[in-house]
Structure 1
Amino acid sequence: MWISGFRAVTRALKDNKFTLKSYFKVTSFCKYSNTCNMAKKALVFLGPGAEEMEFVISVDVLRRGGINVLVAGLPDANIIKCSRDVNIKPDIGISEATSQGPYDVIVLPGGLGGSKAMAESSLVGELLKQQESSGKWIAAICAAPTALKAHGIAIGKTVTSYPAMKAQMEDGGKYNYKEDNVVVDGNIITSRGPGTAFEFGLTIVDKLVGKDKASEVAKAMLLCY
């Protein structure tokens, strides 16, 4: 079916003719091939005091990977001052994020202030619970896994975080803890900090688009993956 569909696509494009028969062959081809898949969609939270390296690197790598990224600001779409006084303008406010989904991945950058804002936001909690119940990806880096804990997300999973957050993540026995740069358990991706942000972003690209694409993005940035 794949070969037949591919021939139908190329022939129809060459002849500039799309019959009903070729239409069904094309749609069958798209069903079984990644070639016609729509781009994946990511939602990235941005709260006051977010770690700007983790935020920017994650968004940059995902967009290089062909993923559509939407940035939701907490509490709204006004300019956010990050942890090192870098100002970033979100695309939308958090209240608008529910109507823009579904998302293939929700990403939580770290930074103490940003993580606290995410942990205290009921809207963030609702979005994360919907994402988890649908089995879609959730990714958190640095201090942001503490926001997952605050909302009861990924209970029983193996996670990592910024080293200073280890005791908080282990407290209560809700998580297994590892000190790897990036940890993937089921639909949960966690990472350690600014120095692991590239690997974090590339792992998300790998899981959403494929390892070949992640390797291609890494090579273009002179990184190994």
Structure 2
Amino acid sequence: MPRVLVPLASGSEELEAVTIIDLLRRAEIEVVTAGLEPGPVTCSRGTVLVPDVDLDDVVEDDFEMVILPGGQPGATHLDRDTRIHDLLARQAAADRWTAAICAAPSVFASTGLLDGRSATSFPGAVDPKRYPEIRLLEQPVVIDGKIVTSRGPGTAMDFALQLIELLLDADRRAAVEAKLMRPR
């Protein structure tokens, strides 16, 4: 099974983080949650999440995908952490997947991962004037190469299901989605 990393920062959007973690685990993908700092993480709406490990414990590990939840100030904390920038650079160099939702695509923008690519984010999270080389779209989920971006809490389920399909296959996505009782 694929192994993915979901870094959790203070102020992360809990709906996005929990949706990603839950749906990928339903697909039997190994999800490792890692706090930027030791201990529980208080999310943007006050929900407290307990990461599996501290980021320092897994920062040198290889993952099939690194997934950044959004939210503020969570995305800002992710962007200010050099370990996150190093992880993303390593993922890109190894031609492995990276994914970000809501405000977190701004981390990809600041690292240059989105240069010359199409992406989406929460409106205003990636400033088109600051990053004119990024083609910003208003789609729920955008895939460009090995980079996946999404808009926000309302697209978290679509985002997570797309990640399942990319990491496994369409059949596994369909199996997970069928049990969610989503309206068609």
Structure 2 length-normalised TM: 0.95
Size of the aligned set, in residue pairs, is: 184
**One-letter amino acid matched to 1:112:** Q
- Name the structure 1 match of 2:29: 67
**One-letter amino acid matched to 1:85:** G
CA contact (8 A) 1:170 1:176 kept: no
- Name the structure 1 match of 2:46: 85
Secondary structure of 1:163's partner? coil
Structure 1 length-normalised TM: 0.79
Which is richer in helix?
A: 1
- Name the structure 2 match of 1:154: 114
How far off its partner does 1:169 sit?
Answer: 4.6
5 Å-filtered alignment, 1:71-220, equals 71-74=33-36, 76-99=37-60, 101-166=61-126, 168-169=127-128, 171-220=130-179
Q: Which runs of 4+ in 1 moved over 2 A?
A: 169-172
Q: 2:116, 2:28 → 1: CA distance? A: 32
**One-letter amino acid matched to 2:175:** E
Bigger radius of gyration, 1 or 2? 1
Deviations 1:153-207 (A, max 9, x none): 23211000001325x1552313111100000111000000111000000000000
Which has the bigger relative contact order, CA under 8 A and spacing at least 6? 2
Q: 1:174, 1:45 → 2: CA distance? A: 27
Q: 2:128, 2:79 → 1: CA distance? A: 13
Q: 1:134 to 1:224 in 2, by over 3 A?
A: farther
CA contact (8 A) 2:66 2:98 kept: yes
Secondary structure of 2:124's partner? helix
Structure 1: runs of 5+ lacking an equivalent: 1-38
Q: 1:72 to 1:57 in 2, by over 3 A?
A: same
2:8 is equivalent to residue 49 of structure 1: no
Deviations 1:130-160 (A, max 9, x none): 0011111100000000111222223211000
- Name the structure 2 match of 1:18: none
CA contact (8 A) 1:77 1:89 kept: no
Q: 2:111, 2:82 → 1: CA distance? A: 8
CA contact (8 A) 2:109 2:131 kept: no
CA contact (8 A) 1:146 1:169 kept: no
Q: 1:169, 1:187 → 2: CA distance? A: 21
